[in-house]
Structure 1
């Protein structure tokens, strides 16, 4: 496998990286057939590569001569259970401490007592299935023997294996706790960054209409003979603009704390029809709405999402907007299409960034905040869906996908 780097012709030989690993490792198929082992694995086992390749892992390792038949069967069953667990859950699994003795080099029939801690890691294929299983093991013999030597009497010796297993379990728990701590810290940083951007957006977007209001009021006070009706109409437009911006910013703030207690079953065709009846668009709106396409969502949030998509389409379209509802299991699909200038491929993600506005959008609507599509996408994500700009030859095509609700 090769991976190129930008601006260079360097490559990574992953086979060489695997073989040079510091811990004994083997690659297994989903049928538990060994297809590769690294150099450390061969060194530790004292055997040749040909003794492992293309052999089932349970055939490649003979019974441990130092263990009883019951213990050997228990160890093999433990490995098999762990492998099947990896195939079922597609998640890493840890095998409790096991004993497997190794034959002493140059002394046939003489085995040394060895203890191992093993991890099984699934490697996914192109469709998410488990394609390979990497078996990695670490020898913990010295640790187990040290615990045994520190004990007093036979009872302590019998408890050594159990104590080692408890320590291994504790170590695994500490790893998980550390990973969860990193994830929590990352989430907190993202939340702080969102709040910082929210304050910046508020300051920037509120400044222009506030400046306009102040200017008009100063003119009204300094020029008593001015056209009061004209000035009031302009002040009203600035106040409406302020109200729209505040509504957008409040929506962004709510999305960080939104719960789904008010979610309900919504028939998208009926919902879209009702919402479009409430609007007074200046262009023709055509619909193709399949019945019985249901989602579970907040009606208020979904109305906000659809409203933002329609406002965006009205801003850019030339003559006609089309709204489509259809089922594409496992998703419900809602599309809003316009016949405007469209969105270039390089901008299809950027239009969902907060406050990003293309030059054409700024010319058509200089007062826009650039928050509408960002809010719409975040609402979609809060409901387990996604919103994206799809390819269309003439105009823009915004696609919302939400999980279909169970019947």
Structure 2
């Protein structure tokens, strides 16, 4: 509880640690007396002014990274709502009585957010400690013969501090990426479990009805149960394929003629639409034939669900790539949704309407197979319908 009898402004001003308070726009709103002393400024120089206007940094400093590193730290505080500790940094100060003249200065800095009721960053407390004297004393050893060694030590301390700061920033990025991956995996498991429950529930319901009514015709029940079992098998097969893609190295690559692959895949299917082909010859890639057949099959399944009358398959060479395109004449994909269709278990409204039992795993599996062999699968512009383009390195 805040004690109204305490003058917190006076306490802040008298704190020993040099402290500065700024808004999320980096406008200075308060400074402790010790900060004024260490910076050589007074309240009128600071309050209401942008931090980087008051302290622009020395354009002639080696590397000139001081302002950039401080800005990056402040932006991390705004983005995460968490304290950010900077390693030792050089940030030269412009002499207050000599504009354009900078003094070499070194600082250890901590930036801490002040959060509002909704968790937003309302203010940033900038705490900094100057270590310039310490570093300079390392270079002013009392023994003349040790001067060069002391200067080397000073430079080494600074270099190690910069390395630690760089390592800390890389670790933060890695941690953030891992957290995002864990969250994606959690959502994936949740959604996959939900998709598995639907056919399981249908199967259990049909079996319970069949058992409770002795005179029921079992053939419709068995047909429905078979469809639900097939649906379960398809989902489990997709999940196993994703697990293999996530954890295993790509299957052994072999030369695969894309035109022949298309002919073979069409030969084993019963088309539900007119299929037109334009197949270039000698368009060869190195990949697993089985995996590429799975990729093409998934693209054709998707095209058959959405096409109106015609599907077109095109194989061409576009050095250094081999290109396979699957085009339908359906409603197409809005530009804003072209990446979304490759997210695991993501299904657009049109897909749910045309195939309520779909899992949303076919296109993500196709893309991951492409990536496993150094390629890329994407949804491209098209005048009508959807156009999926596979690019793989051409085997020459």
Which band: TM-score by shorter chain? 0.5 to 0.7
Could you tell me how far 1:265 is from its partner in structure 2?
4.2
TM-score (norm 2): 0.63
The residue that corresponds to 2:370 in the other structure is 380
1:90-136, Cα deviation, whole Å (9 max, x unpaired):
xxxxxxxxxxxxxxx99xxxxxx9899xxxxxxxxxxxxxxxxxxxx
Could you tell me how far 1:166 is from its partner in structure 2?
2.5
Q: Any idea what SS the aligned residue of 1:321 has?
A: strand
1:140-196, Cα deviation, whole Å (9 max, x unpaired):
9855531123x3534421213332333233223213321331232123213312321
Count of equivalent residues: 289
State how far apart, in whole Å, the 1-side matches of 2:157 and 2:251 are.
42
The residue that corresponds to 1:208 in the other structure is 198
State how far apart, in whole Å, the 1-side matches of 2:150 and 2:343 are.
58
Residue 12 (structure 2) pairs with residue 22 (structure 1): no
* RMSD of aligned alpha carbons: 3.5
How do 1:7-406 residues align onto structure 2 when only pairs under 5 Å count? 22-25=56-59, 145-149=136-140, 151=141, 153-260=143-250, 262-402=252-392, 404-405=393-394
1:295 to 1:157, Cα distance in 2 relative to 1, 3 A? farther
Moved more, 301-310 or 201-210: 301-310
Q: Which runs of 5 or more residues in structure 1 are unaligned? A: 1-9, 11-15, 28-36, 41-104, 107-112, 117-139
Q: Any idea what SS the aligned residue of 1:215 has?
A: helix
State how far apart, in whole Å, the 2-side matches of 1:155 and 1:268 are.
74
Q: Any idea what SS the aligned residue of 1:256 has?
A: helix
Contact 2:332 2:385 survives alignment (8 Å): yes
State how far apart, in whole Å, the 2-side matches of 1:114 and 1:17 are.
18
State how far apart, in whole Å, the 2-side matches of 1:366 and 1:304 are.
21
State how far apart, in whole Å, the 1-side matches of 2:376 and 2:357 are.
27
State how far apart, in whole Å, the 1-side matches of 2:251 and 2:159 are.
38
State how far apart, in whole Å, the 2-side matches of 1:17 and 1:301 are.
56
State how far apart, in whole Å, the 1-side matches of 2:280 and 2:54 are.
58
Q: Which runs of 5 or more residues in structure 2 are unaligned? A: 1-24, 26-49, 68-96, 107-130
TM-score (norm 1): 0.61
Could you tell me how far 1:238 is from its partner in structure 2?
0.8
